[in-house]
A and B are shown apart, each in its own frame.
Chain A
């Protein structure tokens, strides 16, 4: 039965890796922004950018994998919940690419090229432009907050399925969990 089909291993791996990176980058971004200029601030900004670029890097194969190997169908539920779940997933995908992309453009606009891991210079897709930099900074921050809200909604829904509905929605994305095939849990 498709209802208990787990996510594929690459999909699980990408899900948790990207989740961990996003959940590290967000508070780091909030914290570093408040620091006054210091070597620590420069270091943290670089780490933040490297994490973001890693998310962007992982995003591409993840999206391709999802298109090639569609995830297991949603477990049965009220139509509005299924629609909401579908929309949330695509918005999450959109934002997990848009937030780091926006940060990259913002860094270029502010006159700081992004050098991935301090080794690989990424091209400046926009030139130095303070006004554009400020605009992209606002956008980066707004989109990051939107992403956080979606992640909370997403995680709350997963917990609701796990704790209240007691279905396999959460379990099938968890690593190292074997689902008894062909059986649905009550």
Chain B
């Protein structure tokens, strides 16, 4: 079922391999400061629950430089040891035990002991019963949590302490050297990292830079690592720069507000059938993203083709023909996230599509919205975890029917159908996340899940080419 995903991953890997130009002639070496730019401008180094996708990825990447999760998931969703080296659960998946890596220390020199880790996890999840033993922690949950490891791999479960100023203290490759809220974060290499010292001495992250500014800065060699628009990532990079495009890890969808004037499911279905996703993808998204009618992307589930994303105007008109006049004469207000550079055009195109079948949709940022164009994060390669997270971000009510009972595909499919019933949400596109690195960056192996690395800690293998080396190349 996941064959398509593996093929996609293979392509991404090839792209990544082509982007990594480390040769035998140029060996990795220590030193240098990696310059990074990001769109978001956080006031604090925390990951808020309602973060926008851009903020989510920026903060997740930043915090993952400072801290580690207990486990991590690879692109296939398989758990990999990080701070925990072994794990097991009882058959009911209510009780888990994770054996921790020995000798790990926080940046302040304190040991990342089972007790310290249990305290941090317990604070993050008051509903869990987290207990520490000699070299392990046990977690008891109610109800059963078959996806506990996927949950623990999420950036919100990074094992981080905080000093009195709220600065995170973790076990990661880098430690916080200077923090200017919303502007600049300086990280220094952690000499005592359990993964070993990173090649670069420091990382400087500038916040609040638009994608356009980041692209120009990269072009002018004023930064080393940036975010990029997905469509830009597919274009050829000049000046030795390389780019990376993740698997689709975001969902763009229309969500009907609870007090929307469009309460009739036929209106919602007609709108879903009226939307022609192809022109949006080809023109407005410049080919990036995949038209979608499901919440989860195909690489996660393998069944998304079951949900048709084809426009069907005749069927939409038939549905609307059954409606009474008031529903037809109503104008529905469609809002979008003004910080999303593509959202306005996509919303306007949807309004055009809707008017084509006779649904009056006005794109507006003022007044009470009936429909919202939302971009949400699918944070985990584990489909059940991503489905739950997507439903939470979309504000969908999660009932028993919309929660998978197990990690089986059938249960997942039924749960997703439950969430899509009634057309409270109309999935539009699954979107990737893109990054780009400058010419002097070496050893960059971006992962397919919008992380900065496909294995181990992010940026652990990166080293910076000197001017002399560049000259010999």
Do chains A and B interact in one complex? no
